[in-house]
Amino acid sequence: MIRLYLESAKCEVKRMLQYKANSLFYLTVVLIPPLALFFLWKTILSHGGSIGGYNLSDMVTYFIVTQFFVMNTPYSAWIEIGESIKDGSLSLWLTKPVNHYLLYLFRLIGSWILQWIFGIAGVIVVSIILKDYVVIPKEASTYFLSILFWMGGIVIGFSYGYILNLLSFWFERSTYIIYFSEGIVALLSGMLIPLDLLPAKSLWLFLPFRFCGYIPAQIFLGKMTGLDIAFEFASMAIWIFVLVSLSHLVFKIGSRRFTASGG
Amino acid sequence: MSSYVIEVKNLTKIYRRQVKEAGLIESVKSIFKPLYEEVEALRGVSFNVGEGEIVGYIGPNGAGKTTTLKILAGVLFPTEGEVKVLDEIPYKRSKKFLSKISFIMASRGFLEEVAWDLPVLDGFYFIKEIYNLSYSEYKKRVNKLSEMMKIEDILKSPVRNLSHGQRKKAEIVANLLWEPKLILLDEPTLGLDIFSQNELHNFLKEYVKDYKATVMLTSHNMKDIEKCASRVIMIDKGRKLYDGDIEGLKKKIFGRKFIKICFDEVFNENIEKKLLSVEGVAVISKEENCLTISTEESISKDVAKEILNKYNISDIEIMEPTLEEVVYRFYSEGKEND
């Protein structure tokens, strides 16, 4: 059965290959923000000190990693999911023996693979430019764990965006809710500032969005012990279970309200 | 196990839709106090369809045709009534049920959704994975159906580069690759030229014969119904008005035949008056030296004989009303009676 979802991802990869120039352009999107943040934090930490335990190297590495992870986490899912509810094209999938959630998760991953490849290339280029300021972990397990948590973050981000899109079953347009929540997630994932530097940090460190950027970055920087990682892993598994179950429940209830407009 | 493929009993579907007066103030008002109206798309419709039948489901715009198909496909939940398709309740959307049906929509295509920028074959391959077909079976079906539908030469073209007709044909083949037991077809010939329409009619009949499938099709093109369907169900305003064969419908509505007479010279009013004096004869149309009259079916032969004996005619033809004429009359009379 997994072959069906892999095929849906493959179709998206093939489709994106038709528009490879877009993905190439994405390289500039990956390059510019970390460079801009580097100059900002270099000015703030010019005296050579640190903020909340982050020195300049930590900050630069943190932002390179979180920018890549968060910008490549589909927390707004696909607007197409909500649009298909409004315009009735959801009918195409309701009449096929497929799991709608998995189908869109894999389609989305397929459509982002090229972007990820260019994103990694961008991270390497930025790391070379800022080589004197970047923390490069030596252990392979650090990379593995960061990527593992980032993948969990993808499922969490996707589920969140998926549920927001499903609000189209109830509201005329959920697009604005999605745009609004994008800003919230950017903040709560730690993309703009490390979460432990925010006030009321225990709340932000409870929410699932931390797995989209903050936690993988902390692991990458070597700021978490084995026990912390195990605790976060268990927490991530619970959040994934809750959000995936909620996605299915909302889809089940919402699809009863589906009016399938148009022919 | 039921002997019917489709069983529909007292099916009712009521939608709630938002209504809004025109204007800015009304738009602002609707934010705080939205108004809704209830639309009865279907009102107590009942019918059964047996295996191998091709049923034409017809009615004017907004009659409830597509709503019925969507309920049968499991897309919509019925408000009231019972629906069983292939012994399953459609809206439960079990994998077993969805693997046995195909719903081909009028305006939205599966290939357009998944393979717009990709070759048709990529879209077909995706179907293969959805329905878990073996490669050899998939290959065999693609070859056979593509040949039947005459689309072999477009299989490697991206869907976006195809004409409307080619896309429609590819879409139909894509939706039959898993050999569904029930095909729900919504406006299959919409936007197709007459050649493509004919190909589609022949394909459909051949497919049903070969695969013992059941088809329920809606169309505003009465040729689709006349050429493919053995039975017709007519609905209007959510109610069933007729269920039976096409001949029965013609008899019920008309019970008459048309006679087209072409005279050697331009006919005069005296001829028309004499013809009209025969009981049960009515003039349908006049054009230069030709006249079309309608007669009761029982006397049509006698009237034709009399015309042949009395007048100098160059041609005479006894015709049956087309389904289009029957349907038009059926619904226009219904409107007058409203």
Do B297 and B220 share a structural domain?
Answer: no
pLDDT digits (tens, 9 = 90+) for B160-188: 999 988 999 999 999 999 999 999 999 88
Element (H, E) at B47: strand B35-50
Average pLDDT across chain B, whole number: 87
| Number of domains comprising chain B | 2
Do B103 and B162 share a structural domain?
Answer: yes
Cα separation, B23 vs B20, in Å, equals 9
Please indicate whether, in this complex, the C-beta atoms of B126 and A11 are within 8 angstroms of each other: yes
Do B238 and B118 share a structural domain?
Answer: yes
B56: CATH: 3.40.50.300
**B272: closest CA among B286, B288, B258?**
B286
pLDDT in the model for residue B75: 93
**What confidence category does residue A141 fall into, taking pLDDT thresholds of 50, 70 and 90?**
very high
pLDDT in the model for residue A52: 82
pLDDT digits (tens, 9 = 90+) for A170-202: 887 667 777 777 778 888 888 888 888 888 888
Do B143 and B272 share a structural domain?
Answer: no
Do B259 and B242 share a structural domain?
Answer: no
B106 and A CB contact within 8 Å: yes
Cα separation, B231 vs A2, in Å, equals 42
Do B297 and B193 share a structural domain?
Answer: no
Please indicate whether, in this complex, the C-beta atoms of B76 and A88 are within 8 angstroms of each other: no
| Average pLDDT rounded to a whole number, residues B108-127 | 90
CB pairs under 8 A between A and B: 76
B134 and A CB contact within 8 Å: no
Do the beta carbons of residue A115 and residue A30 sit within 8 Å?
Answer: no
Nearest chain B residue to A256 by CA distance is B77
Which residues, numbered 216 to 245 in chain B, qualify as contacts with chain A under a Cβ-Cβ cut-off of 8 Å? Answer: none
Task: Provide the domain limits for residue B314.
Answer: 255-320
- Which residues does chain B have within 8 Å of residue A15's beta carbon, measured at their own beta carbons? 116-118
pLDDT digits (tens, 9 = 90+) for A30-85: 777 778 888 888 888 777 778 888 888 888 888 888 888 877 776 656 788 888 89
Do B13 and B118 share a structural domain?
Answer: yes
| Average pLDDT rounded to a whole number, residues B231-255 | 84
**What confidence category does residue B86 fall into, taking pLDDT thresholds of 50, 70 and 90?**
very high
Q: Is residue B221 part of a domain?
A: yes
* Partner residue facing B110 (CB), from A3, A14, A92: A92
Average pLDDT across chain A, whole number: 85
ipTM, two decimals: 0.81
Do B260 and B152 share a structural domain?
Answer: no
Statement: residue A263 has pLDDT above 60: no
> Which residues contact residue A29 at a Cβ distance below 8 angstroms, ignoring those fewer than 6 apart?
A71
Q: Which of A36-45, B4-13, B198-207 has the highest mean pLDDT?
A: B4-13
Nearest chain A residue to B105 by CA distance is A263
Q: Which of A12-26, A112-126, B32-46, B255-269 has the highest mean pLDDT?
A: B32-46
Cα separation, B175 vs B172, in Å, equals 5
Statement: residue B104 has pLDDT above 60: yes
- Which residues does chain B have within 8 Å of residue A18's beta carbon, measured at their own beta carbons? 117
